[in-house]
Amino acid sequence: MVPLAGCVLAAFAAIAAFIFFSLISISDVQATEKTLKITLPYIANDEQRNLYIEQVVTRAADATGHTVQIAHFDLPTNESRIQKMLQDGTPGIDVAWMPVTKERIDTMLFVPISLYSGLHGNRLLLIHADRQADFAALTSLQALAKMIGLQYQHWAEYRVLIENGLQIHGDLKYSDMFRAIDSGLADYLPRSALTIKDELKRSQSTSIAVEGSLVLVYPSYYFLFVNKANPELASALSTGMRMMRQQGTLQTLFEDTYGERLDGLALQNRRVFSLNNSDIPETLLRNQDTQWRR
């Protein structure tokens, strides 16, 4: 017979071994779960938060085994300064979302998957409500070029519209553009399909409407750009976003966020005027990572 003391010691030894190996297993799991504090550009208040971007960053990181704590830079910073900080590896901002340009692709760390599936390059027109018939009669970009459009000269879209031969006035402030359309000093204001309904609502104008038959389409993509000092973060977000795209969760998140804004715009049924964008690298055109929305 085995002495009672020996049985007790054996039992304690077994329990100790179980606890030891359990702690090792827990430590291994915890080691694979990293919490990342990711700082995005400054916002003045919660209304300026881009919850879609925050969700994309959080879910992409989560897909690669990370949890995320989102923060915002504490100083107002324009896009040029943000680009400089990310290019130089200056601490303060980890990730920003910006339009793709050849310079940014050549000089910056980025996640090569479009955030909006190129839909910022679908431009609808804000016009005077009484002029729907005038625009419905247009059959070519050349015909549209005889009209006067508006776009702020420091916006990226201004260059694209000018390069494609359109008459665009770029001196007015944003609020004055609506007054110019209302008074007949200008004919149209192209805006993104993702924002045009909200912009019209905020204008509180009763005489301006979304033109119903045309869409200007040109390549325009937003990427996540990452601080040069953190290539590991860029790699993790790239892997996570590609997983989201392949699994369909990126499109689901997009539709949940923007689907209502696109409802009623009938993008598929509009007459398309195609424009060139000389500042988009050829490798990004007709790419499943930049145009993934079905």
Domain boundaries, the chain: 34-118+220-263, 119-217
CA atoms within 13 A on the CB side of 175: 1
Question: Where does the pLDDT of residue 10 fall: very low under 50, low under 70, confident under 90, or very high at 90 and above?
Answer: very low
Interhelix angle 249-262/51-63, rounded to 10 degrees, is 170
Distance CA(110)–CA(113), nearest Å, equals 9
- What is the phi-psi region of residue 110: left when phi exceeds 0, alpha when psi lies from -120 to 50, beta otherwise? beta
Structure tokens at 37: 């504090």
Q: Which residue has the tokens 């085995």?
A: 2
Distance CA(245)–CA(30), nearest Å, equals 27
Question: What SS3 state is found at 191?
Answer: strand
Question: Where does the pLDDT of residue 47 fall: very low under 50, low under 70, confident under 90, or very high at 90 and above?
Answer: confident
pLDDT at 99: 95
Comparing 11-20, 177-186, 250-259, which segment has the lowest mean pLDDT? 11-20
Comparing 45-54, 79-88, 102-111, 143-152, which segment has the lowest mean pLDDT? 45-54
Comparing 1-10, 43-52, 119-128, which segment has the lowest mean pLDDT? 1-10
Do residues 183 and 238 make contact, with C-beta atoms less than 8 angstroms apart?
Answer: no
Question: Where does the pLDDT of residue 3 fall: very low under 50, low under 70, confident under 90, or very high at 90 and above?
Answer: low
Kindly state which CATH superfamily the domain 34-118+220-263 is placed in.
Periplasmic binding protein-like II (3.40.190.10)
pLDDT at 54: 97
Which segments of the chain are extended strands (E)?
34-40, 66-72, 95-99, 109-111, 122-128, 148-150, 167-169, 189-192, 208-210, 214-217, 222-226, 271-274
Angle at 180 between CA 179 and CA 182, to 5 degrees: 60
- For the residues of 62-120, what is the DSSP string, one character each? HHTTEEEEEEE-SS---HHHHHHHHHHT-TT--EEEEE--HHHHHHSEEE-S-SSTTGG
Distance CA(67)–CA(93), nearest Å, equals 18
Instruction: Tell me whether domains 34-118+220-263 and 119-217 share a fold.
Output: yes
Angle at 237 between CA 231 and CA 243, to 5 degrees: 140
Residue 19 pLDDT greater than 70, yes or no: no
Distance CA(82)–CA(76), nearest Å, equals 10
Residue 170 pLDDT greater than 90, yes or no: yes
Do residues 31 and 63 make contact, with C-beta atoms less than 8 angstroms apart?
Answer: no
pLDDT at 2: 45
Structure tokens at 96: 């920003």
Structure tokens at 270: 């509009």
As its CATH architecture, domain 119-217 has 3-Layer(aba) Sandwich (3.40)
pTM: 0.85
pLDDT at 286: 74
For the chain, the average pLDDT equals 89
pLDDT at 149: 98
Distance CA(131)–CA(133), nearest Å, equals 5
pLDDT at 33: 55
pLDDT at 34: 74
Residue 18 pLDDT greater than 50, yes or no: no
Question: Where does the pLDDT of residue 217 fall: very low under 50, low under 70, confident under 90, or very high at 90 and above?
Answer: very high
